[in-house]
Structure 1
Amino acid sequence: MFYPGFYFDPTYIILIPAVIIAFWAQMKVDSTYKKYRSVRTINGNTGSEIARNILDSAGLFDVRLERVSTHLGDHYDPTSKVVRLSPEVYDGATIAAAGIAAHECGHAIQHQTSYKPLVLRTQIAPVVNIGSQLSMILFMIGIFFGSPMLARFGIIFFGAAVLYQLVTLPVEFNASTRALSILKTRGFLYGDEIKGAQNVLDAAAMTYVAATLMAISQLIRLIALNNRYNDN
């Protein structure tokens, strides 16, 4: 019988490119954010002021702003209709703060307009949350106890998590496109400031690309392990 983990597993090689890309993406987002969080904008609006302006202009008066303590914990919560911003973004009058605040408001506008990828991601989120917790458990039980069906269920559940990552990409790219357009047309940023905000958002987007590649690589690895088990 095939027992993974008792010897070097060559399928780990599948993950190496994705791990390298993920490491590079994290370094890129950290360095880019560090650079532009110290560059103040010409108009001096804070991230919270920009966010409130964008939301009100879109008619989203019911969407609240919250200041959270988590570093880079900025996000939009569609369930509670809350844009949560970290202290450096909420209080900062920097290029990084402007870009991130506008990006999260972009998600709120997506929610308002029923942007299809966001709707799909929201719909599959509960299944993905359960499946991501069960996938590896089912897969390992299936492998160790000789149950191909359980292993396949584990792969299917993990596949749902991969789908979630794939759907996340257009959601994030679209929110950034909306953010940059708003920052430019509303006069929140000028000239090179727009390019700086784009650099911040592009670097952040790469972390989602890296996460997607990692998920796809892991799915391929699980399929390879299952096929090898079935051949033995």
Structure 2
Amino acid sequence: MYGYGLYSWWDPTYFLVLIGAIICLIASAGVKSTYSKYSRYRSMSNMTGAQAAERILNSAGIYDVSIRHVSGNLTDHYDPRNKTLNLSDSVYGSTSVAAVGVAAHECGHAIQHQKNYAPLTIRGALVPVANFGSTISWPLILIGLFFTSNTGTLLINLGILCFSFAVIFQLVTLPVEFNASRRALKILGNTGILNSEELPMTRKVLKAAAFTYVASAAAAILQLLRLVILFGGRNRDD
């Protein structure tokens, strides 16, 4: 009898999932704490996140990106499909160094889009594949467990392969996010939106945010490793 989750209530590989969940929780708590800390520091320029974003985009020669106010906390994102830069409640109208930093980071993605930054293009192409893979992976694996023939092995391997697409997406996301933060810090300094005392504060906010992507990638890798450990032996047993 295989030691798969379908046949037993517990197996040691659950620790991999637990480790990934703990890493993500630490990262999430870290970015919220860091943002909260530096959201209390008003920038000397007294520019809101939205104003800073407009100035940064214009300085980069980008005039076709709309800046929108969206609900939520730290739900900021740039959407290349309709060229919108979406800033959350805590960023759009705030004049803090944290808010300006987050807005600048999203502008970094808009600049990446303008310059056809390769990792961003690759990530965009992977979105539908990663979404499909993460959705279909477990159904394929579970169905495969009901077969003891080569058909079951094939379905399980396909499920693991599909899940790996989501992992690849997480890995490609890392250089995209790191590069956007580097662009943001450079632009904020060059334009004078933040001074030399404020930039280190913003750098800490962006580093904390970047760690959440590292944590997500690590969790995805651990989950993939668990799948390989759980079901990799089936090929040998069959």
| Pairwise same-fold verdict (TM > 0.5) | yes
* Distance (whole Å) between structure 1 residues aligned to residue 110 and residue 153 of structure 2: 43
Match of 2:180 in 1: 175
Q: Residue 206 of structure 2 aligns to a residue in which SS?
A: helix
Letter in 1 for 2:194: L
Residue 4 of structure 1 aligns with an amino acid whose one-letter code is G
Name the structure 1 match of 2:231: 226
The alpha-carbon deviation at position 165 of structure 1 amounts to: 0.3
* Partner Cα separation in structure 1 for residue 68 and residue 9 of structure 2: 49
Between the aligned partners of 1:18 and 1:88, the Cα distance in structure 2 is: 28
Instruction: Tell which deviates more after alignment, 101-110 or 56-65.
Output: 56-65
Paired residues of 1:67 and 1:86 also in contact (CA < 8 A): yes
Question: Once the 2 structures are TM-superposed, how far is the Cα of residue 47 of structure 1 from its aligned partner?
Answer: 0.4
1:7 and 1:129 map into 2 onto residues whose CA distance is: 28
Counterparts of 1:16-165 in structure 2, within 5 Å, are: 16-146=18-148, 147-165=152-170
SS of 1:192's partner is coil
Distance across 1 between alignment mates of 2:122 and 2:173: 10
1-structure distance, mates of 2:28, 2:90: 19
The equivalent of 2:201 in structure 1 is 196
C-alpha distance after superposition, 1:100-149 (max 9, x if no partner)? 00000000000000101001111111111111110111112112333011
1:153-176 Cα deviation digits (max 9, x unpaired): 111111111000000000000000
Cα displacement (A) at 1:71: 1.3
State the AA in 2 paired with 1:127: V
* Distance in 1, Cα, partners of 2:119 & 2:234: 36
Q: Please say which of residues 137-146 and 58-67 is displaced more in the overlay.
A: 137-146
What's the CA shift string for 1:33-52, capped at 9, x where partnerless? 11111211111000000001
TM-score after normalising by structure 1: 0.96
Distance change >3 Å, CA 149–CA 197, structure 1 → 2: same
Which secondary structure state, in structure 2, belongs to the residue aligned with residue 83 of structure 1?
strand
Letter matched to residue 94 of structure 2: G
- Distance in 2 (CA, whole Å) between partners of 1:172 and 1:185 is 20
Q: Kindly indicate whether the alpha-carbon contact (under 8 Å) linking 1:131 and 1:161 is maintained by their aligned counterparts in 2.
A: yes
Distance in 2 (alpha carbons) for counterparts of 1:144 and 1:96: 52
**1:227 and 1:126 mapped to 2: Cα distance?**
26
Aligned residue pairs: how many?
Answer: 232
Compute the displacement of 1:60 (Å): 1.3
Amino acid at match of 2:124: T
CA offset at residue 231 of structure 1? 4.5
Distance 1:155 1:142 in 2: 11
CA distance in 2, matches of 1:145, 1:211: 32
Structure 2 length-normalised TM? 0.94
Name stretches of at least 5 consecutive residues in structure 1 with no aligned partner: none
Q: Is the CA contact (8 Å cut-off) linking 1:143 and 1:229 kept in structure 2?
A: no
Letter aligned with residue 24 of structure 2: A
| Identical residues among aligned pairs (%) | 48
- The 3-state SS of whatever aligns with 2:73 is coil
- 1:186 is matched with 191
1:40-91 Cα distance to aligned partner (Å, 9 max, x none) = 1111000000001111111211100000012111000000100000122110
Q: Is contact 1:165-1:212 (8 Å) kept?
A: yes
2:215 aligned with 1:210, yes or no?
A: yes
Extract unaligned runs of 5+ from structure 2.
Answer: none
Q: In 2, Cα distance between the equivalents of 1:170 and 1:32?
A: 22
